[in-house]
Structure 1
Amino acid sequence: MRAPEHALEPSEPQVAYEIGGQRWNKGTTGFEEAVAQAHEQHLRPRCLCQRDTQGQGIEMYVARLLDGYIVKRMPNTGSQHATACPSYEPPADLSGLGQLLGTAILENPSTGTTTLKLDFPMTKMPGRSAPPPASSTASSASSQGNKLTLRSLLHYLWDQAELTRWQPSFTGKRSWATVRRHLLRAAENKVVGGHPLLASLYIPEVFSVENKDAITARRLQQWTRSRPTSGSPQPLMLMIVEVKEIVPARYGHKAVIKHVPDQPFGLDDQLYRRLARCFEQELALWSAVENLHMLMIATFRMTDAGLPNIVELSLMPATAQWHLIEDHFDRQLLEKLVGEGRSFIKCLRYNAPTSKVGVSASLTDCGASPHFLIIERQSFNKDESAGDLERLITSEGQRPWVWNALVEPLPKIPVKGRSYIEPLLFKPASGDQLNWGSRSTMQTSRT
């Protein structure tokens, strides 16, 4: 059985749960069995990072994955957790996630599955041309609606994979293998059009000359799902990859993908022209900064000749630490945070327009309350931005940090505080014994 919940990176804070009247420290002997039993008995664990509105731990639920179980936060409860808790996430309204929850993203704690509604097709009718790619600013004509565009799906999976989180101990530990593993895990129990997302999702393995034949065989086996059938809609594959280059081919253009050196992906001339127009800013940034990754999320199909052709795509650059960024200002801020050894969560825009104020990052090392960091850009609607900033004042009266990137240099980052997880006292049911685990120590609750 796999280690439950957030065991994605080393050096995480100690996390404790109440399960069936007992306290368990995550990762200690017997914890995995307790989580499995909670799933079988339909019990709701409680995270003991701090109290909820009823004075208890924060309610969680257990979902079953392919190789074990995972303790997950209940929908829309991430902001109730302590900022140092791995289950904490900024309020959904701080990004574009809020407008998609309950509409494009339907989480069912009873089954542990999440249904996703997409605004792009996952099949292609014979003879029909490809739709235009998602644009860099609006993702598609319906981006203000209640469905996931290609770009917002990438943001969602990045969030779910916890690749938006950063702390100093992660330095040097994120590679493509790590990114791939986290994304595949994030896609588990996600359903699209009644089918598991994993069945259609291709994320390339790390290429190895020694294992080339085995890697190629696994890749081709997965791609058989998209083989054309005469007279029937052709299923499309979805891929998340790192682009090495996009260059002219003998006919049309081709995308060369890192870790897939032996198989280019075709783009027709129309799609290539749209690509250059829609993602001019992203491509310019990628060209100018050597250590950036360029990520592509795309649908593709297999031709009659057995070759992959891209149908629709979206591009987004990422830093050396694999943080998705919008522009040069975003990159400056994140490099500053990483260089100063800060802990933070990168907030993503999803379908929200660039004219709307959004939090770029949320510092999680400033004590009990997060500190929101905002980059003010020329595209902001000035009449709306003042009201948006007022709504971002925390319950403690803390105002967000704002950088007017067009008129001033990067300001000083708010200082670190004491990351605090409230040691919530837990009273067991009569006759039960507390399981403190091998490394746990009892603390007194705050009054």
Structure 2
Amino acid sequence: MRRFSIGGDVFTDEVPELQAALAAAYTRKERPLCLCRDPGCAMYIAQIGDLHVIKRMPLSGGEHDPSCESYESPYALSGLGPLMGSAIQLDAESGTAALKLDFSLSKTGSRAPPVAGDGGPAGVSADQRKLSLRGLLHYLWHEAELTVWTSRWAGKRHWWNVRWHLLEAAKQMTVKGGQLSDILFVPEPFRADNKEAIEQRRSVALAAALPPKTGPRRLMVLVGEVKEVAPARSGQKVVIRHLPGFPLLIDDTLHRRLLARFEREFSLWGADPSSHLIAVATFGLNPAGLAIVEEVALMIVSENWIPYETMYEKRLVDALARFREKSIKGLRYNLHPDQPIANALLQNRREPFALFIVPAGADEDFEASLQDMIAARPEMRPWIWRVADGDMPALP
């Protein structure tokens, strides 16, 4: 049972008085304290409808006790570690994370031939001083706690709560001095009987992407589920679920690069009908009101919205989905595929585990980096699946 200090009073997470206390603290803009440690770890309050929810402050997971639901293992076990203090800078007082991006949020002059990121086969840069477009998507997914899963949530995670958690996470992030949530567009679930109201809200949300009379064009960031990529009369279009009649237009150059750089994601998407293909894109509106994509990256997620990169990770994710205890999926961010990460964590237990998958053909550098990572976190017991040695070992 978790305990929180709110306005000088202590509440458990099961008492009926908690919601009233949270509502009052939300109005006062007061931060509750999680009492898993003394003197307490600052949290923040988010509102969804009439419900108030206590959320972990960005990048504060390591401050909580390992038995606490808000605890998070060290970032060095994933691609997040190298970004801390450079691409991602935490303001401890406000609890917000300032992000440095390696892609532009504005466009000057005529539209140049776009690219889907630079660098390795994943279409991202290896520069750890700035977040790639895919790195931003990974960070949003991580801070929205969409990498966390327990079998008790089966059938309860849908697009509407994925969207809400992404937007709430974005409110705790800044880019170039402004809130990321101001330029992040995540389409709301579409219902035909509410079509006019949804389209009106969408027009308001996209006002920042309208072209100005003079000066650079401001771009927005879209996160949505891909329904299809199909030919348009000129170029190609990406059709996003919950955005009927509002395609994202891409030219043939970007389309060819998209198919080449994200061949793995497209093949995994085609192989598993239950998985979802998530797109993150920078875009602006042309004078005709059409959405023109400047840069795009893709991520494949399971039916429970847990990211994975290979069929081996998919097997691990599916196995962990049957666990009643929480598992946390590790993400790569800007790291190249030839560098190891903890593919998943089982941490809220007496003996926390870091789960590693060693791909077939991994070289000596990969093995050396893996052993260094394991040695650096002696409190985490390693579980290792060397794909070349055979089937997946039993989970701890």
Same fold (TM over 0.5): yes
Which residue matches 1:104?
87
Which residue matches 2:231?
248
Which residue matches 1:409?
391
Shift of 1:39: 5.6
Q: Within 1, Cα distance between the matches of 2:96 and 2:60? A: 17
Q: Does 1:23 align with 2:5?
A: no
The answer (yes or no) to whether the contact 1:355–1:379 under 8 Å persists in 2 is: no
State which of 338, 341, 345 in structure 2 corresponds to 1:362.
345
Q: Name the aligned partner's letter for residue 60 of structure 1.
A: C
Q: Name the aligned partner's letter for residue 176 of structure 2.
A: G
Q: Which has the larger radius of gyration?
A: 1
* Residue 262 to residue 97, structure 1, CA distance change in 2 (3 Å): same
Which residue matches 1:118?
101
The answer (yes or no) to whether the contact 2:79–2:334 under 8 Å persists in 1 is: yes
Structure 1 residues 313-328: aligned runs within 5 Å: 313-328=296-311
State which of 374, 377, 386 in structure 2 corresponds to 1:392.
374
Which residue matches 1:302?
285
* Bigger RCO of structures 1 and 2 (CA < 8 A, at least 6 apart): 1
Q: How many residues align?
A: 391
Which residue matches 2:42?
61
State which of 176, 181, 187 in structure 2 corresponds to 1:204.
187
Structure 1 residues 64-79: aligned runs within 5 Å: 77-79=60-62
CA offsets per residue over residues 98-124 of structure 1, 9 Å max, x none?
111222222213223321111100011
Shift of 1:69: 8.4
Which residue matches 1:423?
none
Which residue matches 2:22?
32
* C-alpha RMSD over aligned residues: 2.7
The answer (yes or no) to whether the contact 1:228–1:303 under 8 Å persists in 2 is: yes
Q: Within 1, Cα distance between the matches of 2:164 and 2:58? A: 23
Q: Name the aligned partner's letter for residue 195 of structure 2.
A: K
Q: Within 1, Cα distance between the matches of 2:203 and 2:8? A: 49
The secondary structure found in structure 1 opposite 2:98 is strand
State which of 171, 175, 181 in structure 2 corresponds to 1:188.
171
Which residue matches 1:146?
129
The gaps in structure 1 that reach 5 residues or longer are 1-13, 415-447
State which of 190, 197, 206 in structure 2 corresponds to 1:223.
206
Q: Does 1:373 align with 2:355?
A: yes
Q: Within 1, Cα distance between the matches of 2:63 and 2:376? A: 13
Which residue matches 2:159?
176
State which of 11, 14, 35 in structure 2 corresponds to 1:48.
35
* Residue 70 to residue 38, structure 1, CA distance change in 2 (3 Å): farther
Q: Name the aligned partner's letter for residue 182 of structure 2.
A: A
Q: State the TM-score, normalized to the length of structure 1.
A: 0.80
Shift of 1:47: 3.1
Q: Name the aligned partner's letter for residue 351 of structure 2.
A: S
Shift of 1:138: 5.8
Q: Within 2, Cα distance between the matches of 1:395 and 1:290? A: 37
Which residue matches 2:321?
338
The answer (yes or no) to whether the contact 2:188–2:242 under 8 Å persists in 1 is: yes
The secondary structure found in structure 2 opposite 1:372 is strand
State which of 249, 264, 279 in structure 2 corresponds to 1:281.
264
* Residue 69 to residue 38, structure 1, CA distance change in 2 (3 Å): farther
The answer (yes or no) to whether the contact 1:265–1:310 under 8 Å persists in 2 is: yes
The answer (yes or no) to whether the contact 1:357–1:389 under 8 Å persists in 2 is: no
Q: Within 2, Cα distance between the matches of 1:136 and 1:279? A: 13
Higher normalized helix content (fraction of residues):
2
The gaps in structure 2 that reach 5 residues or longer are none
Shift of 1:256: 1.1
Shift of 1:38: 8.8
Q: Which moved more, 1:388-397 or 1:182-191?
A: 388-397
* Residue 333 to residue 64, structure 1, CA distance change in 2 (3 Å): closer
